C-alpha cells in the first residue's frame, strides 16, 4: 500500500519483550514512523521507554494510557518530542478533541493537503482488532474485513475514499476558522441536509476566538 506511517494501539497489556518483538517486525520495513499507544504495566517506566525509543528510532510518538499518574518526559531523540503517561483510557486518548493551538501542525505539506483533502482522514486506513477496515478508529462505518477481502481491494474503492475529499473548507463552522489549514481535528464529518457538519462542537469558538476548555 506504500504506507509510510503507522500507529499501533494495543488494548492488551504487553511485556517489554513482546513490544520489542513487534517492533522488530518493522526493522526492514518502509515505514518512516511508528506511533505506539500502550496499555500501562509496571515495566513501562521512564528508563525502559527511553531505552525503547532510543533503540527504535522510527518511534515518533509514545503514549502510555491507563497509567496511575499523568506525566511526560523529554524523549531521548529529536524526532519525538515527549513520552507521555496519561490516566486516560485508550478511547479518550485516541479520540480526544483539539484543545489548544499547541496541537496544530504548521507546515507547508499540511497546508497544501488541506486545500483539497480532509487532514485527519486523507489516506488513513484503520484495521481494527477484529480485522474490520475503517476510515478512522472512531468511524462507525466498516467497509469489509481484512482477513476475507484484503486491504487494497477495500481501500482503493470510491466509497472508502469519499471522506478523504471533505476538506475543512467544506464543513460548517470549520470553514470559518482561521486554523483550518493546520488543524488535525479527529471528528468525522457527516452530511445533513446537503451540508457537511460535525455532530459535536469543537472546543474552539471560531466566533469569539476563545477555547472552551474549562
Interface residues with ligand SF4 (CB under 6 A) are 98, 168, 173-174, 177, 179-180, 183, 185, 202, 204, 206
Q: Give min distance, CB of 88 to ligand SF4, in A.
A: 20
In contact, 207 and 213? CB cutoff 8 Å: no
| CA-to-CA dists, residue 192 to 1, 189, 198, angstroms | 32, 10, 10
Q: Which cell goes with 18?
A: 513482546
Nearer to ligand SF4, 58 or 180 (CB): 180
Q: Give min distance, CB of 140 to ligand SF4, in A.
A: 19
Q: Give min distance, CB of 210 to ligand SF4, in A.
A: 12
Q: Give min distance, CB of 161 to ligand SF4, in A.
A: 21
What string of H, E and C letters represents the secondary structure of 77-124? CCCCCEEEECCCCHHHHHHCCCCCHHHCCCCHHHHHHHHHCCCCCCCC
User: Helices 16-24 and 46-55 meet at what angle, rounded to 10?
Assistant: 10
Q: Give min distance, CB of 189 to ligand SF4, in A.
A: 10
In three-state secondary structure terms, 139 is coil
Nearer to ligand SF4, 36 or 174 (CB): 174
Instruction: Classify 193 in phi/psi space as left (phi over 0), alpha (psi -120 to 50) or beta.
Output: left
Q: Which cell goes with 76?
A: 531521548
Q: Give min distance, CB of 122 to ligand SF4, in A.
A: 15
Strand spans (E) along the chain:
5-9, 33-39, 59-65, 71-74, 82-85, 126-127, 133-134, 190-192, 195-197, 204-205, 210-211
Nearer to ligand SF4, 117 or 204 (CB): 204
Nearer to ligand SF4, 9 or 174 (CB): 174
Amino acid at each position: 500500500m506504500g504506507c509510510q506511517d503507522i500507529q499501533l494501539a494495543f488494548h492488551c497489556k504487553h511485556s517489554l519483550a513482546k513490544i520489542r518483538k513487534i517492533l522488530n517486525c518493522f526493522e526492514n520495513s518502509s515505514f518512516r514512523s511508528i506511533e505506539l499507544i500502550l496499555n500501562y504495566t509496571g515495566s513501562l517506566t521512564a528508563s525502559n521507554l527511553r531505552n525503547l525509543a532510543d533503540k527504535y528510532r522510527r518511534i515518533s510518538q509514545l503514549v502510555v494510557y491507563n497509567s496511575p499518574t499523568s506525566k511526560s518526559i523529554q524523549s531521548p531523540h529529536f524526532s519525538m518530542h515527549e513520552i507521555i503517561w496519561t490516566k486516560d483510557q485508550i478511547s479518550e486518548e485516541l479520540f480526544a478533541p483539539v484543545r489548544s493551538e499547541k496541537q496544530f501542525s504548521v507546515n507547508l505539506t499540511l497546508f497544501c493537503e488541506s486545500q483539497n483533502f480532509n487532514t485527519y482522514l486523507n489516506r488513513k486506513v484503520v484495521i481494527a482488532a477484529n480485522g474490520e477496515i475503517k476510515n478512522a478508529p472512531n468511524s462507525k462505518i466498516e467497509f469489509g474485513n481484512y482477513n476475507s477481502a484484503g486491504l487494497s481491494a477495500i481501500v482503493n474503492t470510491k466509497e472508502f475514499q469519499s471522506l478523504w475529499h471533505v476538506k475543512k473548507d467544506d464543513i460548517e463552522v470549520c470553514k470559518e476558522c482561521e486554523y483550518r489549514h493546520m488543524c488535525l481535528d479527529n471528528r468525522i464529518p457527516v452530511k445533513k441536509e446537503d451540508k457537511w457538519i460535525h455532530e459535536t462542537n469543537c472546543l474552539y469558538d471560531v466566533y469569539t476566538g476563545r477555547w472552551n476548555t474549562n
